Structure 1
Amino acid sequence: GMGSGRARVTCVERVPKLRSAGGYQVTGVFMKNWDPLDEQGACSVDRDCEDAYRVCQKLDIPFHQVSYVKEYWNEVFSDLLKEYELGRTPNPDIVCNKHIKFNHFLHYAMDNLGADAIATGHYARTSLEDEEVFQQKHMKRPRELFRNRFEVRNTVKLLQGADLFKDQTFFLSQISQDALRKTIFPLGDLTKSFVRKIASEHGLHHVLKKKEACSTFLFQSMGICFIGERNFEKFLLEYLEPQPGNFVSIEDKKVMGTHKGWFLYTIGQRARLAGQQDAWFVVDKDVSTGDIFVAPSTDHPALYRDLLRTNRVHWIAEEPPAELVRDKMMECHFRFRHQMALVPCVLTLNQDGSVWVTLVKPARALTPGQFAVFYKGDECLGSGKILRLGPSVFTMQQGRNREEGTKKEDIDKVEPAT
């Protein structure tokens, strides 16, 4: 399963004598990242854990539980709150994979369970054959300050899953080479419907009845899975102080209503304005004043932009890609939401490892705090967090109108030649 509270991660250990599960000795591990004690019994962690245990019983493999509640709080959730306070919309699933699943959990599997690899249920593939994964020796090596420029790196590429609609490389775009080298994705070549068929043939009916594991995408275009179906606004206000402010029309700067905090709204989202019949949409935020700018249509030009800047990009295989280093720019594709169509763009590399992303045509609702995930063909190159946006199409139009206006006035002011 994707996402936090319900990650069902199988840890796979190589024992040639046992020809179970394609020649692997398999151990099941259930990860718990959120403590349901805070809530009013709304959490499904216990039920999910029970489901995972039943799968392991059915397959007759060992079952372990690990808890990363503390690590999740420190490395994922506190970062999420900080992002919201800065007026951004975070993506906890990407951060959770980076820090929890493919770091803490990976090391637990290697060091405590003696595993040679981990297997997760992501729809993704790598450039390594499974056999090659097991030839890689796991070394507890000191984290060098600098990577040795001369070591021959057997770089592993992250590739899209065969089922492009289910592809989950988006969520894996921040994981390290070391982790990728030790991971197999058994679902990478399969479609969702085929996976369901395998599950039913093996009598795993209780998991087939489950809803899509963790795609509880709230109205925030992000899945904080452990929140489940609860009211997202109420949940966030348990952790963040209300920051009241105004909804302001982007067109005439008129105050359209009030809100409890800019962190409750994300760009592109519908804003429910009291007394307004029409739908208005969030197009921008000003954290210094607390204003949220809204526009009166879902495809208003204020929602479209063709330029963004990331933080330092995490490149998966080649850091940074040779072409980008050589030419200082590179054509590729990107997405900033799971399952959105890939958008063609040009990257420009900055001194600090961040990139400017120029889109071939303006995209709707680019959102600071979300990750821009880059692709070349079916390879996922890595990702960077969106920190800055260029001007919207609406702003550019206004600028042009003003310029044309002044030109016209200048012409009118010129004294007629007598």
Structure 2
Amino acid sequence: MKSIKHVACGISGGVDSAVSAYLLKQKGFQVTGLFMVNWDLRNEVGVCTGDGDKEDAQYVCDHLKIPFKEVNFVKEYWNDVFSQLICGYEKGLTPNPDVLCNKFVKFGPFYQHAIQRLGADAIATGHYARNSAGQYLENLREDTNVDLLCSVDQWKDQTLFLSQVPQVSLRHTMFPVGGLLKSRVREIACEAGLAKIAKKRDSMGICFIGKRHFQDFIDDYIEPHPGNFVDVETGKVVGRHQGIQHFTIGQRTHIAGLNKAFFVAHRCSQTQDILVAKGTGHPALFFDSMFTTSPHWINQAPKHFTVGNVLELDFRFQHVHPLVKCTATRLDDGGILVTLREPMRAITPGQYAVFYDGERCLGSAQVIRNGPSMFELNQNAHIQTGVYT
């Protein structure tokens, strides 16, 4: 196996990537900091602080005395991430741009640029995840696939966002902070003389939206089509909206003139109707099954998972949620019927059903549609604080 000497570390201007680069240098690797531009700031007025992030990334590299490189993936991001995002919203889905960006940009063109153009032996990122080949790929074997493992810091774990990465890229990816708690990462940054970076707040939300409201941003790309809010219980119209792209499953609607809060239960792209349910714990917001696309398995497909066969797996669809037990049934079209042991609130088509075996992230599949809600199944038992009982 070729020894790893040169590592291209993605530098975002944040503390996680900064500490990753620092740790790599401390281990004796030749490190190149690689800053990725995914959005053409010149085309937007209210975008994220991309220029400030670039300045911070340059500052980190200068402080660590490592080369700083910039690479432009605006075209790739537009074609493979943003276009899919817009298409999904038009269809009444809620896509996950972080999953798409990791799959189609960071672990695709970014990885290829680092290996082929910069001559790196591996890449590193500041993600909170672990590689079964070791923190620095010290246990990598040429003829053995690697697994994606959950991070030590369970509150920061980002394996959900990495659940579509290809095996070829993962085999050459280090996650230097995956074995650390976030609090320790900030401490290391201060110890390394990067207190300025350690004090930065974590980035939140979708970067290209900037400070604008999501509804204002999305209307620049999707023509609004007004529709009705329809009470899921009575079938009566209880309000109007300006487009299904403004809402997602489980979201509060803030319909004027109603004495109780209504939440989105379903969106119909054909009629533009949005079914709404009274109360955050309404049974119409809870589901125990869903249908997905054909899954992406990070290592390899589970043995004997053929049509009609059932697997017992762990599941999540939001990275802050604890793992729950599920069964996965292979369907004729290659997709999966996922059945949960307990109903969950606001499972959302367009998001990803992510499968685990303990700490191993096995892969994921995009949710196409939900099964019947607990309301449709007439299971109107009491629901409280997001837990169906």
Q: Please name the residue that 2:169 is paired with.
A: 179
Displacement of 1:323 in angstroms is 4.9
SS of the counterpart of 1:47? helix
Structure 1 residue 241 corresponds to structure 2 residue 241: no
Q: Is the Cα contact below 8 Å between 2:37 and 2:72 reproduced in 1? A: yes
Report what 1:162 is aligned to: 152
Work out which of the residue numbers 328, 331, 338 in structure 1 matches 2:312. Answer: 331
Letter in 2 for 1:225: C
Provide the TM-score with structure 1 as the length reference. 0.83
Instruction: Quote how far apart the aligned CAs of 1:42 are.
Output: 3.9
- 1:6·1:32 contact (CA, 8 Å) conserved in 2? no
User: How do 1:12-411 residues align onto structure 2 when only pairs under 5 Å count?
Assistant: 20-40=25-45, 42-130=47-135, 132=137, 154-213=144-203, 215-216=204-205, 224-318=206-300, 320-325=301-306, 328-397=309-378
CA distance in 1, matches of 2:310, 2:147: 21
Distance 1:272 1:3 in 2: 40
1:51 shift after superposition: 0.2
Q: 1:30 touches 1:65 (CA, 8 Å); kept in 2? A: yes
Distance in 1, Cα, partners of 2:94 & 2:11: 17
CA distance in 2, matches of 1:230, 1:185: 32
> 8 Å contact 1:246–1:256 — kept in the other structure?
yes
| Cα pair 1:120 1:184 within 8 Å, conserved | yes
- Asked whether the 8 Å contact 1:285–1:293 carries over to 2, the reply is yes
Q: CA RMSD, aligned part only? A: 2.6
Q: Is residue 334–residue 373 contact of structure 1 (8 Å, CA) maintained in 2?
A: yes
In 2 relative to 1, CA 192–281 (structure 1 residues): closer, same or farther, beyond 3 Å? same
> Which is further off, 349-358 or 197-206?
349-358
Structure 1 residues 394, 381: CA separation in 2 closer, same or farther (over 3 Å shift)? Answer: same
Q: Is the 8 A contact 1:6 1:48 kept in 2?
A: yes
> Following the alignment from structure 1 to structure 2, what is the Cα–Cα distance between the partners of residues 192 and 260?
40
Query: Would you say the 8 A contact 1:160–1:378 is kept in 2?
Result: yes
Gaps in structure 2 of 5+ consecutive residues:
1-8, 381-389
- Displacement after TM superposition at 1:277 (Å): 2.8
Q: 1: distance between equivalents of 2:32 and 2:337?
A: 44
1:65/1:131 CA distance change after superposition, 3 Å: closer
Contact 2:10–2:124 (Cα < 8 Å) also in 1: no
Instruction: Give the superposition deviation at 1:43.
Output: 3.0
| Number of matched pairs | 370
Paired residue secondary structure (1:84): helix
Structure with max Cα Rg = 1
Amino acid corresponding to residue 252 of structure 1 in structure 2: T
Q: CA deviation at 1:350?
A: 1.8
Which whole-Å deviations, capped at 9, do the CAs of 1:383-405 have from their partners, x for residues lacking one? Answer: 00000211111111189xxxxxx
Asked whether the 8 Å contact 2:288–2:344 carries over to 1, the reply is: yes
Structure 1 unmatched runs, 5+: 14-18, 138-152, 217-223, 400-418
- Percent identity at matched positions? 49
Distance 2:372 2:66 in 1: 55
Distance 1:163 1:377, change over 3 A: same
